């Protein structure tokens, strides 16, 4: 039986940033249909890991692969395969949700009709009456849904998320988690950097804890108990593990 090539993979990844060892020998694998949550405090290396997959950082040694392709040797090819959702999605305030979606699709070389744009926004959870409202009136959760629609239109193989639920109220965070889970269930690989243990436990298949650039522990999210995960996370955060 042929082993499936991971969608996202880091192999012995080391990244130095201004004399600082930001990533220290990271090995990480995210297959198709998997949500992988990276937990860790500020400076743990989560965002640097995401940025390296996005080709914003160049590995000092080791490599990151997207569907088996080196992200830095084939940057144009791999960027077409991935979507990125930052903590704050940058959209044009004076344009509507539909206009933002069609504009960003055009930048990616994708032409979509207004009808398809509205369907993608609906599928991402944005209410129909908001489609034609200016984004300047949107909440953060609504902006995140436009970002999800952009990822869907791109037909991305992988989605990279950096603190996606930061600043969302519990209801919006729960809705967003459900949308991410649905995308993974359709086959997308998702790598999510977060501080939110509850959200990680709710949506992820695998959970990793990072500290000082190293992946120090990994868990099966479906079998680890929340109190065990919290205990391990705090132990690493406090230097007790």
Residues 82-92 have pLDDT tens digits of 989 888 888 99
What's the mean pLDDT when you consider all of the chain?
90
Number of domains, the chain: 2
| Same structural domain, 119 and 182 | no
What are the tens digits of pLDDT across the range 187-222? Answer: 999 999 998 888 888 899 999 999 999 999 999 999
Question: Looking at the structure, do residues 47 and 132 belong to the same domain, yes or no?
Answer: no
The ranges of the chain with pLDDT < 50 are: 1-2
Q: What's the pLDDT at 2? A: 43
Confidence at residue 178, expressed as pLDDT on a 0 to 100 scale? 87
Residues 108 and 71 in one domain: no
CA 212, 163, 9, 76: dihedral to nearest 10 degrees?
-120
Residue 218 counted as domain residue? yes
- Asked if residue 89 belongs to a domain, the reply is no
Q: How far is CA 85 from CA 29, 217, 227, in A?
A: 19, 25, 29
Q: Specify the DSSP element, H or E, that contains 22.
A: strand 20-30
Q: Among 137, 155, 173, where does a domain finish?
A: 155
Instruction: Name 92's Cβ contacts closer than 8 Å, sequence gap at least 6.
Output: 99, 100, 103, 135
pLDDT tens readout for residues 13-31:
999 988 889 999 999 999 9
Other CB atoms within 10 A of residue 104 CB: 19
Q: What domain range includes position 179?
A: 8-81+156-237
User: For residue 4, what pLDDT is reported?
Assistant: 67
Bridging pattern class, strands 61-66 and 8-17: antiparallel
134 plus 26 within the same structural domain: no
Q: Verify that 136 and 182 share a domain, yes or no.
A: no
Q: Is 109 domain-assigned?
A: yes
User: What pLDDT is attached to residue 127?
Assistant: 93
| 186 shares its domain with 215 | yes
pTM, entire model:
0.89
Residue 143 and residue 206 in one domain: no
């Amino acid at each position: 039986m042929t082993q499936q090539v991971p969608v996202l993979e880091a192999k012995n990844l080391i990244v130095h940033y201004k004399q600082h060892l930001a990533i220290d020998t990271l090995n990480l694998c995210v297959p198709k249909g998997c949500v992988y949550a990276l937990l860790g405090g500020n400076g743990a290396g989560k965002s640097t890991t995401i940025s390296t997959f996005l080709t914003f950082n160049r590995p000092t040694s080791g490599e990151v692969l997207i569907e088996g392709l080196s992200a830095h040797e084939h940057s144009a090819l791999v960027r077409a395969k991935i979507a990125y959702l930052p903590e704050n999605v940058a959209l044009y305030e004076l344009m509507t949700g539909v206009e933002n979606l069609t504009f960003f699709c055009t930048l990616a070389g994708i032409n979509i009709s207004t009808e398809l744009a509205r369907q993608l926004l609906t599928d991402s959870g944005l209410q129909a009456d908001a489609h034609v409202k200016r984004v300047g009136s949107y909440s953060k959760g609504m902006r995140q849904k436009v970002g999800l629609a952009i990822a869907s239109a791109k037909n991305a193989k992988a989605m990279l998320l950096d603190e996606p639920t930061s600043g969302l109220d519990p209801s919006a965070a729960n809705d967003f988690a459900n949308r991410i889970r649905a995308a993974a269930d359709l086959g997308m690989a998702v790598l999510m950097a977060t501080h939110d243990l509850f959200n990680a436990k709710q949506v992820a298949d695998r959970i990793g804890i990072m500290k000082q650039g190293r992946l120090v522990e990994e868990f099966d999210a479906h079998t680890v108990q929340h109190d065990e995960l919290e205990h391990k996370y705090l132990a690493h955060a406090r230097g007790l593990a």
